[in-house]
Chains A and B, each alone.
Chain A
Amino acid sequence: MIGAIRMVQRNALVYRRAWRGSVFFSFLQPTLFLIAMGVGVGRLVNRGDASLPAGVDFLDFLAPGLLAAACMQTASFESSWPISGKMTWQRTYEAITATPMRIRDLVFGELAWMAVRLSTVAIAFTAIITLFGVPRSPLVILAVPAAVLTGLAFSAPIIAYAATRKRDHFNGLFRFIITPLFLFSGVFFPIARLPEPLQTVAWFTPLFHGVELVRGLTLNTLESPAWLIHAAYLVSLTVIGIGASLWAFRRRLHA
């Protein structure tokens, strides 16, 4: 495990200089969304027949969804270009594997670092939505690890994908996966409003489960088998992603 910590230290050293750029993306952007949509659009929505679950306001509905989505976006971004850069043109991993550091130290180190980054995003955003009076119970504390888990469920498979790329092929990932998920996984409206076949599709996407879990913990609406399914789905995706990352790193770095 000490090896993974070394990787975290290395990334923290780099981040100490580069953190400003990521603040907008991880943190200000969801906050702006929350204000514009939650407060602005929310006023219109609440006047109509929104029939949101548990009869909550639109702002309250939206805020936890944005928390999960912010973690997805930060995780996806940080797991794509930076990982493939360290694998290919910067050759950082090659340099590190010439030391006693092992490939699993790299993979677990990157994920541990991701968990650190996601925690800062989740804690800060949870603090903001608390200022807006969104949480309905102290369970909101658990929304932080739930949001981090949502991020990791994206991070692990994307790290595996990034490690196999020769050049960066991530525009497709963002255009055709991350952005549609952001829009249609229940962040802005319940997936029950989607046409029937799309509801099923949405159910199988990871962000849906992340949003449901985080929202349930924030608004205290979780029911017992449902939250287990959401969590199990996210954990499974993370575990599969870790396995795939180990395989991809090994193939790339130990050929």
Chain B
Amino acid sequence: MPSTAEPFIRARNLTKRFANFTAVDSVSFDVQPGEAFGFLGPNGAGKTSTMRMIGCASPVTEGELHVIGMNPRTEASRIKARLGVVPQQDNLDAEITVRENLLMYARYFDIPGPIARRRADELLEFVQLSERANAEVESLSGGMKRRLTIARALINEPEVILLDEPTTGLDPQARHVIWERLYRLKRRGATLLLTTHYMDEAEQLCDRLVVMDKAKIVAEGSPRQLIEQYSTREVLELRFSDEVRAQLDGRLSGLADRIEMLPDRTLLYTGDGERTLEQVHTRNIPLESALVRRSTLEDVFLRLTGRTLVE
């Protein structure tokens, strides 16, 4: 990433309070042009609140925020003209058709009719909804609605695209279609900001991300850096019967860098999972199942917060 460039988005001690409740607590980050930047965190971490401040939909309580070099407090309309927003909950206009949603949105941006019509058709093509151009929004599936929302966010050819949980609630196939489209946007040089509580989404799409928990940023880096820094290369996942589990105390000690006891499984963090598994076998501990896998952001999150990401 070009670290010399002026950051597209710059937050310093950014804070959001609702009455007495602090939803975002003094977070700082920079997003560079062309970067795909993620906010990974569990429910209530403050991801949406942060995105809404960046999108000028919610006033900053404290701290500094610059979006494309402008201040949301004083230049909201000019910032919004250059942003594309995909909110957590779809808010398509249910009273007009698919294509009209794009055309009407173009009007809000003051895009002249002929350009709007051309872009609407291109975008419908891009999100594979051309056949449904004249359909009612209500007749679309969840994944199609999400794609239409993404197309709508692109109508003004935004420099920055804010995506709040772009694939939550979709089936795996619909998620892959969306990921593939977001990849293309990335390749074209768009700056993407996205929130997610799916670690695979964050790993696939984000150049860099922050892990948020309870209104704070607890770690920052590329997915690979975070895994290297906060986890081991591999993880051995073990399942025991309840009796074995109850009498386990100490029998695993020394086998791994770190051991996490989750309600349903036990995680051993280690450089070489297979070797650790052999050692478990030599200690004669009866297993129900064993699995060796690479570390993921899920493990990073567990390490940082002591909790799993998706409850």
Contacts and interface: CB of A to CB of B under 8 A. Distances in A.
Interface of A: 2-3, 6, 9-10, 13-14, 18, 90-92, 94-102, 253-255
B170 interface: no
Nearest to B153: A98
27 contacts: A2-B110, A3-B108, A10-B96, A13-B96, A18-B95, A90-B91, A90-B95, A91-B87, A91-B89, A91-B91, A92-B91, A92-B95, A94-B87, A95-B91, A95-B92, A97-B57, A98-B57, A99-B108, A99-B156, A100-B77, A100-B78, A100-B80, A100-B109, A101-B108, A102-B77, A254-B59, A255-B58
Nearest to A13: B96
B100 A13 contact: yes
B224 interface: no
Contacts of B290: none
Contacts of B55: 98
Interface residues of B, number: 27
A3 B110 CA distance: 9
A13 B104 contact: yes
B18 interface: yes
B262 interface: no
Contact of A94 (B77, B91, B95, B96): B91
Nearest to B92: A95
Q: Tell me whether chain A's interface is mostly helix, strand or loop, or mixed.
A: helix
Nearest to A94: B91
A13 to B, nearest CB: 6
Interface centre among B78, B89, B96 (most CB of A within 10 A): B96
Contacts of A98: 55, 57, 80, 83, 85, 87
B91 A99 contact: no
A77 B198 CA distance: 44
Contact of A10 (B77, B91, B93): B93
Nearest to A99: B108
Contact of A100 (B18, B81, B93, B94): B81
B107 interface: yes
A107 to B, nearest CB: 15
Contacts of A90: 91, 93-95
Interface in B47-75: 55, 57-59
B105 interface: yes
Contacts of B91: 90-92, 94-95
A18 B96 CA distance: 11
Interface centre among B18, B58, B93, B109 (most CB of A within 10 A): B93
A255 B94 CA distance: 24
Nearest to A89: B94
Given A13-B104, A92-B91, A99 B109 contact: yes
Given A90-B94, A254-B58, 19 more contacts: A6-B108, A10-B96, A13-B100, A91-B91, A95-B87, A95-B92, A96-B108, A97-B57, A98-B55, A98-B57, A98-B80, A98-B85, A98-B87, A99-B156, A100-B77, A100-B81, A254-B57, A254-B59, A255-B59
Nearest to B109: A99
A97 B77 CA distance: 9
Top 10 nearest A-B pairs (CB, nearest first) are: A91-B91, A99-B108, A95-B91, A98-B85, A100-B77, A14-B95, A100-B81, A101-B108, A94-B91, A100-B80
Nearest to A18: B95
A14 B108 contact: no
A12 to B, nearest CB: 11
A239 B107 CA distance: 28
B56 to A, nearest CB: 8
